[in-house]
Amino acid sequence: MKRTGAQILVEMIKSQGVDTIFGYPGGATIDIHDELDRHDDLRHILVRHEQGAVHMADSYARAHKTTGVALVTSGPGATNTVTGIASAHSDSIPMVVFTGQVPTGLIGNDAFQEVDIVGITRPCTKHNYLVKDPAKLAGTIQEAFHIASSGRPGPVLVDLPKDVIQAEIEFDMPEPTKMRSYKPNYKPNKKQMAKAVSMLKAARRPVIFAGGGVISSKASEEITRIAKLANIPVTGSLMGLGSFPGSDDQWLGMLGMHGTYRANMSIGHSDLIFAAGVRFDDRVTGNIEKFAPDAKIIQIDIDPTSIHKNIEVHCPIVGDCKMALADILALMEKEDPADFHQDRDAWMARINEWKQTTPLKYEQKDDVIKPQYVVEKLYEVTEGKAIVTTEVGQNQMWTAQYYHFDRPNHFITSGGLGVMGFGLPAAIGAKAGQPDKLVVCVAGDGSIQMNSQELMTAVASKLDVKIVILNNRFLGMVRQWQEFFYDRSYADTNMEDAPDFVKLAEAYGASGFKCDDPAKVTATLQEGLNTPGTVIMEFIVEREESVYPMVPAGGAITDMLLV
């Protein structure tokens, strides 16, 4: 049966189980949008900027546990996606981005709205394609989804020339993808499993370090059972929050530059780190030469290039986190549980002492709102059940520290790339994926302005999200560095000139609330969260409040600024 390229594209997208696309039309993709309009079972969410589309697809993939899809036009439409693609690549998020392109005969001629988006995105995609032959369109799309969602997940870009989309050819659904050159290894080496169990038995000061790979492989249950069986304390990277219950006594909190004192000290004094789904980036390790000097390290990762990349490990395990953890758990369950608890009392007592003597802390007074207090009250009011997205900066760190995530896929943030402007579109994407869940974006007054136009997307699409703005009238994280290391020279970080966020909300058809009284924080949160529709809640917070602990650049993670 003859089909146009646009019809083939839509059929192939549906064949992959996709029901939602985030996009923005243009001349190069007009035929695709014309075809999409004929499919009631495929929802297209019209964004207000292409960067927002990719962040929404990213968050949708995390919340819905599937592959996100974005569709944009050629030229500036394509280049506007690069930041979102790079963020998804850093955080290993499965996504397929379709970009329009000028007709094949015009490629290379500097045609109107022509860019080499394949070349531009080659460093920040898992793979990308330029489809020049309509006969290869269906198979390419199928491959794109397979690559994006398998192995270490990541974004794949498919560039679609207009003549390929308009061409009419015979179409048959292709056979399942078989790629001889791409065969990710899922099954870990059994000898390494046994070695890991022996190391766990021998350890006296072990710590489990859980990362985003635990969440993406859906292995939270397995790592929790291992921690419980062997009574091992657990820390996590920013991307790993929610992989182990944040309210559990064995949870140490986040590790790294703004990690908790007990987490950083536990890693620094451990004799074994059991790391799953982490790549030991610089925000976690601090000074590599001083990182966990007495510890042997077990590292599980599906990507062999992530092992030994930053830190030398003693037991590398290449494979899917869920499969590896399940195999290790099965071996542990054959052993005497007492073998995993020998001589641990002193270690657990020391951790408990760190927890009691040096907790996360701030002092809430009567005259000004502390941002930590807002996050704590948000946790209480939502009972810890909301899906929380964040922007990037101090708001992100305070959320990571004071909102205790008990479930995976409930904390969604731009980790590796650290994109300001991520949180609002991410909240919309999460709401599209989990419409029955409460979704809250925690933002700073600077970062919310990066993509505030997506308020219109939320309102128009009836994807009701709640936005908590911690307004300190500064670019807070940069200001904090200026305070500590640049003698309080606040160059270009003053944000006192800002919009009225309540009026901004109302201009987009949303609701707005403003609070500058500590006594009214809880009431404002309750009113905002219970108000139908999209809502902005602006809290005027302490201007020069800083995130503690803080590890200075180049320092060991055990050398923290605490006040």
Statement: residue 281 has pLDDT above 90? yes
Q: Is residue 212, in this structure, part of any structural domain at all?
A: yes
Give yes or no: 372 in active site. no
Domain count, the chain: 3
What would the mean pLDDT of 164-189 be, rounded to a whole number?
A: 92
Rounded Cα distance between 94 and 218, Å, is 14
Q: Is residue 195, in this structure, part of any structural domain at all?
A: yes
Length of the chain, please? Answer: 563
> Is the domain of 344 the same as that of 387?
no
Give yes or no: 477 in active site. yes
pLDDT of residue 177: 87
Q: Which residue has the higher pLDDT, 554 or 364?
A: 364
pLDDT of residue 344: 87
What would the mean pLDDT of 422-431 be, rounded to a whole number?
A: 98
pLDDT of residue 1: 84
What would the mean pLDDT of 515-524 be, rounded to a whole number?
A: 98
Q: Is residue 60, in this structure, part of any structural domain at all?
A: yes
Return the CATH number at 293: 3.40.50.1220
Give yes or no: 335 in active site. no
Q: Is 339 helix (H, G, I), strand (E, B) or coil?
A: helix
Strand extents, DSSP E, 230-351: 234-236, 251-254, 272-276, 296-301, 315-318
Return the CATH number at 159: 3.40.50.970
Q: Is residue 426, in this structure, part of any structural domain at all?
A: yes
Residues 6+ apart with CB under 8 A from 209: 234, 235, 236, 237, 240, 255, 267, 273, 274, 275, 276, 278
> Is the domain of 386 the same as that of 516?
yes
Burial class (CB in 10 A: 0-12, 13-18, 19+), 229: middle
> Is the domain of 213 the same as that of 334?
yes
pLDDT of residue 51: 98
Statement: residue 245 has pLDDT above 90? yes
Question: The tokens 């390494």 sit on which residue?
Answer: 192
Q: Is residue 157, in this structure, part of any structural domain at all?
A: yes
> Is the domain of 234 the same as that of 291?
yes
Structure tokens at 38: 């004929």
Q: What is the pairing mode between strands 315-318 and 251-254? A: unpaired
Structure tokens at 354: 């760190």
pLDDT, one tens digit per residue, over 21-64 is 999 999 999 999 999 999 999 999 999 999 999 999 999 999 99
SS3 content of the chain, % helix, strand, coil (to 5): 40, 20, 40
> Is the domain of 385 the same as that of 353?
no
Rounded Cα distance between 554 and 286, Å, is 6
- List the catalytic residue out of 477, 537, 550, 560: 477
Q: Is residue 556, in this structure, part of any structural domain at all?
A: no
What would the mean pLDDT of 172-180 be, rounded to a whole number?
A: 89
Percent of the chain beyond pLDDT 90? Answer: 95
Judge if the upstream peptide bond of residue 188 is cis by omega within 30 degrees of 0: no
Give yes or no: 12 in active site. no
Q: Is residue 491, in this structure, part of any structural domain at all?
A: yes
What would the mean pLDDT of 469-480 be, rounded to a whole number?
A: 98
Task: Using a cut of 0.95, tell me whether the model's pTM lies above it.
Answer: yes
Dihedral (CA of 290, 294, 300, 304) sign: positive
What would the mean pLDDT of 300-325 be, rounded to a whole number?
A: 95
Distances (CA, A) of 488 to 479, 492, 493, 541: 8, 12, 11, 19
> Is the domain of 341 the same as that of 388?
no
> Is the domain of 204 the same as that of 334?
yes
- List the catalytic residue out of 22, 35, 50, 482: 50
Rounded Cα distance between 155 and 148, Å, is 6
> Is the domain of 289 the same as that of 247?
yes
Domain-ending residue, one of 312, 332, 357: 357
Burial class (CB in 10 A: 0-12, 13-18, 19+), 426: buried
Domain-ending residue, one of 101, 136, 170: 170
Q: Is residue 25, in this structure, part of any structural domain at all?
A: yes
**Contact assessment for residue 274 and residue 295, using Cβ atoms and an 8 Å cutoff:** no
Mean pLDDT over each residue of the chain, to the nearest integer: 97
Give yes or no: 422 in active site. no
Burial class (CB in 10 A: 0-12, 13-18, 19+), 303: middle
Domain-ending residue, one of 357, 382, 402: 357
> Is the domain of 33 the same as that of 143?
yes
- List the catalytic residue out of 113, 166, 250, 453: 113
Q: What is the 3-state secondary structure (H, E, C) of 518-560?
A: HHHHHHHHHHHHHCCCCEEEEEEECCCCCCCCECCCCCECCCC
What would the mean pLDDT of 64-91 be, rounded to a whole number?
A: 98
pLDDT of residue 291: 96
Statement: residue 181 has pLDDT above 90? no
Within 13 A of 266's CA, how many CA atoms are on the CB side?
A: 36
- List the catalytic residue out of 162, 322, 355, 466: 162
Max CA separation in the chain (angstroms): 73
Statement: residue 185 has pLDDT above 90? no
Lowest mean pLDDT among 121-125, 206-210, 339-343, 410-414: 339-343
pLDDT of residue 379: 98
- Exposure string of 307-341, with b = 16+ CB inside 10 Å and e = fewer, is beebbebebbbbbbbbbbbbbbbebbeeeeeeebe
> Is the domain of 154 the same as that of 264?
no
> Is the domain of 408 the same as that of 526?
yes
Burial class (CB in 10 A: 0-12, 13-18, 19+), 447: buried
Q: Which of 424, 487, 489, 473 is nearest to 450 (CA)?
A: 424
> Which domain covers residue 340, as residue numbers?
190-357
**Contact assessment for residue 261 and residue 237, using Cβ atoms and an 8 Å cutoff:** no
> Is the domain of 209 the same as that of 81?
no
